[in-house]
Structure 1
């Protein structure tokens, strides 16, 4: 757009108002970049730079766009920043507005009376001229977004009453770009006989009195932001101040089980347990019950926590269940993290030490302070893109479970069975005994939505099997998979769980196609969750280590707030990578 044309638009606005909007925007951009993107990304004490020095030109869907480069960038923080900038710009220009629960559930939406549209566009053009951003229709793809400072963009969108505005953000590696998907919608409501009428349906009300009183509420009511962070305030009307039946009003925690296989004390205890009591023959174990691959750690936990922080900000507290171990990089003083020792939760101390995930999972509901609803993850499970709590829990409290196409083999459990198959058979036998129905499907390797009350009931109803599982130091043909199978089917038969759907991928790292599948996953980023699993030892563990590490570094470049990170080392990689929007 010619410079003269842009100046013509800006000159329509009185100079004092132009200055106020520019000043407000500059302040908002600096504050939100630091407070929302940096601090919420976990980098509270990092280097600060001017917005101009942090701008980058990145490639998105085949075209180049302007983006602000910030350490600790996350999808939800970028969206919170967009909402704050939009609201602050309208307020600085004296434009009447109110936030609503819009048509797109995960997109913050702001309504402006249609009679004020020209003024709102002028204010936003000033803001976009100050820091480049983009505007398009509410349904626009990345390729359809247009420069927000360009008067032509607004003229071409004049017939649309619902727009998407976004100031793009990228991380220092430029592996991630947060654009239109993390933008905000701007709706223009027409006035009809003293009422403002929405241009499209929303989830609460389609018209309000034009003179409806405005209420000041936290912006977090309209943008998904962790509860421990402040995001400022915004104006709305009474109808949009209350939570909806579709909102998750109960806390949701996450539990990880983790082990450091390089710890010599832990390794000695495992080897001693494998050998059995002095003078007694070693315990007979299936090859996959205690092989080294089952315990191998490549810092997957670090990256799984990054995925959680990046894509599931609605989680309240993360509990890390360990055998008295703590990762060296973990900041145990960070808000929202707590390390739990096995000794704190096992009901019978004689069952320890244990090297059996089934045994550890049987005790998770004993964690002090754990919420009724929580997700259980192994450290090799990752969130692949932004997800809402509704993927795992209904708002009325019912949990969901995700059945695999893989079937539990027929017949009773046998010593020759793979441990996972023996466990599935045992779970099936208990359900048949209690309810007379036959379960056939295994579960996907995803986060497991669980309820403490269901786990507590299982401990009482199946006391013998529960105790036997707790005391099994390695995976045994008698194990019951309490958290990963029995909980879901027992809850289903008692009216507390239901079948859900999730798009996930399971990658066996020892498979010939592992590298190709990892490359595809990185290129498209189109799965809700994925699991990188080891069941057998790889012939070239060093090559496998490099393959996995390179993938995880590229997929999750942004440190979480739970890490002790050398900020200078992280910032040094800025500009080295190729940025691309991936779904």
Structure 2
């Protein structure tokens, strides 16, 4: 039997979390930083259909009724499907972290067990294979943990060693006295340590850095992370069922990667290249990375920066996909 036959026959769906607050039909007052739509999703979908064409469906989770630049739902349903975010969670929320921990609920909407999860500002820069994201071991397909070995890992590790005693961190750490980013990372690692200690497992193998890029996941394993937070975290409700982003929400990607690398010996693929750039400083060279993110940046998305980003995205992915109007 072909070594990759199981992997080749395993369906993989691409899942976006999306919100267009400029939609006049959207009667909501979400307090989120992204208060405009700069067409990133248009170019992200183009990049996906060009460079990972083996994906089965594209699921778009959103509060909007439709994506403005796409054809009607019946004309795109063979490849692109909408899910109302309220249908997924059961309530309105603008918290990306809450959605990430609840993505396991996608199983009730026909989504495959194996997914690639992305935000609308995540892009696929080069042709990639399914085996860049997933691998087969003993007849089971697993997602790689995507990991970048640099980006301040030494500094983060020195900070983490002070708090790796899970009970100390989880009971005493005050999110109001720490930078939000570090609390989100450290709380994710401490929750993981609590779960690993109960399993009497040795930890940590290494701290894992978030990539701000698309990542492969399994729905059942997302449910595992959900249950870990629910069992070990004092702010579990704020994390799992919040209507807004909160500082006390532990980083989903850190927890997912750190737990499965330590508890399940998950393989790490550090061979892919990753890029991130603010929209006002991005250039076409960002497209040389396998995966990259165009982030709003410190200026909050000025008109000039937004125009510049569109020019860069158009230069990288100029060809409309078949599902655009």
Shared fold (TM-score, shorter chain, > 0.5): yes
Match of 2:240 in 1: 470
**Change over 3 Å in CA distance of 1:418–1:473 after alignment to 2:** farther
Aligned equivalent of 1:445? 212
**Distance between the aligned counterparts of 1:472 and 1:417, measured in 2?**
21
The whole-number CA distance in structure 1 between the counterparts of 2:290 and 2:310 is 20
Give the aligned CA root-mean-square deviation in angstroms.
Answer: 2.3
The offset of 1:340, in angstroms, is 0.5
Do 1:413 and 1:425's aligned partners in 2 also have CA atoms closer than 8 Å? no
The alignment's TM-score, normalised by the length of structure 1, stands at 0.47
Alpha-carbon distance in structure 1 between the residues aligned to 2:113 and 2:120? 21
How far residue 357 of structure 1 moved from its aligned partner, in angstroms, is 0.5
Q: Which runs of 5+ in 2 are unaligned?
A: 164-172, 198-202
1:267-303 per-position Cα deviation (integer Å, ceiling 9, x unaligned): 74225xxxxxxxxxxxxxxxxxx4x3x4432110010
Partner of 1:342: 85
Tell me the distance in 2 between the aligned counterparts of 1:448 and 1:505: 13
Q: How far does the alpha carbon of each residue in 1:504-534 deviate from its partner, in whole angstroms, 9 at most, with x for none?
A: 1110225xxx14xx1433xxx4321111012
2:8 to 245, 248, 257: 248
- Shift of the 296–536 alpha-carbon distance from structure 1 to 2, 3 Å rule, reads farther
Match of 1:492 in 2: 261
What secondary structure, in the 3-state scheme, does the structure 2 residue paired with 1:520 have? helix
- Aligned partner of 1:456 among 211, 216, 223: 223
Do the aligned residues in 1 keep the contact of 2:124 with 2:291 (CA within 8 Å)? yes
1:314-333 deviation line (CA, Å, top 9, x unaligned): 10011100014421112323
**Structure 1 residues 317 and 453: alpha-carbon distance in aligned structure 2, compared to 1, 3 A threshold:** same
Kindly indicate whether the alpha-carbon contact (under 8 Å) linking 1:304 and 1:379 is maintained by their aligned counterparts in 2: yes
Q: What do the CA deviations read for 1:449-487 (whole angstroms, capped 9, x no partner)?
A: 1001111222233325453312222222221223x2222
Q: Deviations over 1:513-562 (max 9, x none)?
A: x14xx1433xxx43211110124334x71111110011111110111233
The alignment status of 1:503 with 2:261, answered yes or no, reads no
1:413 Cα deviation from its structure 2 partner: 5.6
Paired residues for 1:13-28 under 5 Å: none
**Is the partner of 1:458 in helix, strand or coil?**
helix
Contact 1:413 1:478 in 2 (8 A): no
Tell me which residue corresponds to 1:390.
131
- Equivalent of residue 119 in structure 2, options 360, 374, 378: 378
TM-score, normalised to structure 2's length?
A: 0.81
Distance 1:462 1:541, change over 3 A: closer
Deviations 1:430-454 (A, max 9, x none): 1111224245332212211100111
- Report the CA distance shift for 1:268/1:468 in structure 2 as closer, same or farther (over 3 A): closer
**For residues 138-177 of structure 1, what are the structure 2 equivalents within 5 Å?**
none
Distance 1:296 1:365, change over 3 A: same
Contact 1:381 1:446 in 2 (8 A): yes
Q: Structure 2 vs 1, CA of residues 443 and 320 (structure 1 numbering), >3 Å: closer, same or farther?
A: same
Q: Deviations over 1:192-211 (max 9, x none)?
A: xxxxxxxxxxxxxxxxxxxx
Paired position in structure 2 for 1:401: 145
For structure 1, the 5+ residue unaligned runs are: 1-241, 272-289, 565-583
Distance 1:415 1:544 in 2: 32
Q: Which structure exhibits the higher relative contact order, with contacts defined as CA atoms closer than 8 Å and separated by 6 or more residues?
A: 2
The structure having more radius of gyration, on CA atoms, is: 1
* Alignment match of 2:308 (pick from 540, 544, 547): 547
Q: Secondary structure at the match of 1:446?
A: coil
Distance in 1 between residues matched to 2:64 and 2:307, nearest whole Å: 28
